[in-house]
Chain A
Amino acid sequence: MHCKITALPALLAITAAPAFAQDKIAVIDTYADIAQAGYEDSFAKARSLKEAISALVAEPSADALAAAKAAWLEARVPYQQTEVYRFGNPIVDDWEGRVNAWPLDEGLIDYVDQSYGGPTDENLYAGLDVIANPTFTLSGAEIDATEITPALLENELHEADGVEANVATGYHAIEFLLWGQDLNGTDHGAGARPWTDYAEGDECTNGNCERRGNYLEAAVDLLVSDLEWMSGQWTDDGAARAALMEDPDAGIVAMLTGMGSLSYGEQAGERMKLGLMLNDPEEEHDCFSDNTHNSHFYDGLGVRNVYVGEYVRVDGSVVSGPSLSELVASADPQVDAALREDLNRTMIELGQLKTAAEAGFSYDMMLARGNEAGEALIMGAVDALVAQTRSIERAVTTLELDQIGFEGSDSLDDPDAVFQ
């Protein structure tokens, strides 16, 4: 009050800034806590998946395969909610391709249907079939794959020949090995791999059952160790948390970048609209298991978690704290209310899509050419995601954070990062 003659902007800069910085640190702390809990949950669920896969390989049966599939589906629930951490956190983005790369040319890994075709202009190794071939040549090098190990998958096969569709590791490689190809096109039905693909002796179908089991075990071992590593990056002294704390403004930008980039370019565009416009069920994110509706739903929920500062863990306990929503509301309650409303709208739209899929109108059916109900469900969610992106931009402007890029933020070293 006694500073009346000081210019207003200077006053704000002097008196408000320190308190604001504290608020930002508390908000980033919540964000990192949610990441830590999400990756720990994903790690725990991956270990359950590993147990189920070990049981399947040790004593193959229809029940054991079903149990492994159920474990995979559960494992996806926490993981998809962490996808919002990818964009804006270089530590996550650099690592993510190991665990969730998609789409994949599955013929690299195992047998495929005749309709799959073989090598293409884009990918010479689309039909390599490592499980059936203990030795082969890859980009001019002789590869000895007589033993299928995590190192072989990670170092030789993953992104072989520099092609991203050569996905040898992660959730979707495991998904393919559990479900097999979905040959139903845009009709109802997921992949139908027989449990006997893992059977011993004469019962073995499609050959090389032991190598197939070895591949599956190697892939889940890698998944478990990768998720363990990522949980470690978010502990109190973890590198991902520390990177955000270095510069609170850049940390808040990273949060909003993740929300907006996942919402718009990645989920609404790449994953939903593109698949719909190609009428292509292989563009489904979880195409082998027909779990795409859940994949989209939990991606959307992850974005909301970050904004409202709340995550419900797989055991039902809640991680919450000072939120980005509160930070935005303190600057402009209207912008905050609009963004919260948009995020809720998206969850309703994604919820409708999930509901219809679970009632039997599966995601691949929605993609069929001329299927108006499916198109309306998918585009309803796409439009909601696009709308929330506009509100996220407004939140950035409200917090006066779009100037950050001009200052040259080192914590966003990705040249494609949104707020350059």
Chain B
Amino acid sequence: MMIRHLALMFLLAGGPAFAGVEEAVEDHVLPRMANFAVQAGDLADAAADDCTADALRPPFQDLFDAWLGVSHLRFGPLEEGGRALSIGFWPDTRGMVGDTVARLIAEEDPVLEDPDAFAEVSIAGRGLFALERLLFEPELADYDDGDYECRLVQAIAEDLAMTSDALLSEWRTDQAPALLSAGDPGNTLYLSAREPAQVLYTALTTGLGFTAEQRLGRPLGTFERPRPERAEARRSGRPLRNVALSLEALRELARALADGPIPETEQAFAAALEQAATLDPVFAGVSDPSGRLKVEILQQRIERIQVAVTEEIGVPLGISQGFNAADGD
């Protein structure tokens, strides 16, 4: 206890005690934000060219992949104006995406003609999950060029491109400089060198929790009542892919943030990814006891990552998880 306290004091008093912050921002956050913006732009271009579901499924998948690279960075620009929710509104516990998309189509709501007005539409009618309905739901995906659905797909893609551009530009001009100049006079966002480390650390641990509890926990449901239909992005066949990509992104953040070697964390990530490779792509297996067990083992392995991250990154840096957007019930 006392040793830890001393270590903490040296860190607080010392100079650049949080070298990992710069590495995390420059090698993890900014490249992945840039990639997300590129993929969103590509999808919007593709949609303008050919809006049919067949044509847009591949760039949709690429964009969703890119989203998994940044979706855990739920602070600053991604929280500003609720951007994270407008990109990926999930879990949707009240089935609002289906209702909202259906209502827009039924009413042929002209709101999509003005991008600024469309940006005010319910988050359940925008973003990746509304798009997924239109591109993968059999009753919806057979629209033709010129149909309302076609224009809706284009509007959603355009909205995503605008959001991702704003996100990247805010990261470059405001958030990254603020993180890297923490404690400087005039930096009102981060008052000490410790705060950026804590914010990134919170993103890491919250991201691990989200994957274990939501991405895996929701389809698991209970033993009596498994809920495979609640898996994230099941219509586009992505539940497992999302879990694997989120773990890879979080591993990258952990490596960047750490000040020294993190062997237990590395081992725990490898074990989790190895277990993930044994699962079926949409977690249909949660309905039978042996398939269920595999998902539960993965969940436990992610919990082991959390323990390793606490010991190898949190404790040495003298930081713990702060408050996060998922603290509600």
Contact = CB atoms under 8 A, between A and B. Distances in A.
B191 A278 contact: no
B4 A406 contact: yes
Interface in A386-405: 386, 389, 392-394, 397, 400, 402-403, 405
A260 B93 CA distance: 24
A10 interface: yes
A28 B205 CA distance: 29
B225 A261 contact: no
Contacts of B117: 370
Contacts of B328: 261, 265-266, 269-271
Contact of B191 (A139, A394, A418): A394
B181 interface: no
Interface stretch (B18-26, B163-171, B288-296, B318-326): B318-326
A389 B323 contact: yes
Q: How large is the interface on A (under 10, 10 to 19, 20 to 34, 35 or more residues)?
A: 35 or more
Interface string B221-236: 1101100011000000
Contacts of A416: 209, 213, 326-327
Contacts of A139: 225
Interface in A316-344: none
Interface string B83-124: 001100000011110000000000000010000010011111
B310 interface: yes
A120 B95 contact: yes
A264 B324 contact: yes
Contacts of B306: 420
Interface stretch (B5-13, B241-249, B258-266): B5-13
B297 interface: no
B155 to A, nearest CB: 14
Contact of A9 (B5, B96, B325): B5
B133 interface: no
Interface string B252-275: 000000000000000000000000
A239 interface: no
Given A264-B324, A277-B86, 5 more contacts: A120-B94, A270-B329, A279-B121, A406-B310, A406-B314
Nearest 3 A-B pairs (CB), nearest first? A265-B327, A270-B328, A266-B328
Interface of A: 9-10, 13, 87, 103, 120-122, 139, 161-162, 164-165, 260-261, 263-266, 269-271, 273-274, 276-280, 369-370, 386, 389, 392-394, 397, 400, 402-403, 405-407, 416, 418-420
13 contacts: A139-B225, A162-B222, A164-B93, A260-B327, A261-B327, A265-B323, A265-B327, A279-B121, A394-B191, A403-B318, A406-B320, A418-B321, A420-B205
Interface of B: 1-2, 4-6, 8-9, 79, 82, 85-86, 93-96, 111, 117, 120-124, 191, 194, 198, 205, 209, 213, 221-222, 224-225, 229-230, 306, 310, 314-315, 318-329
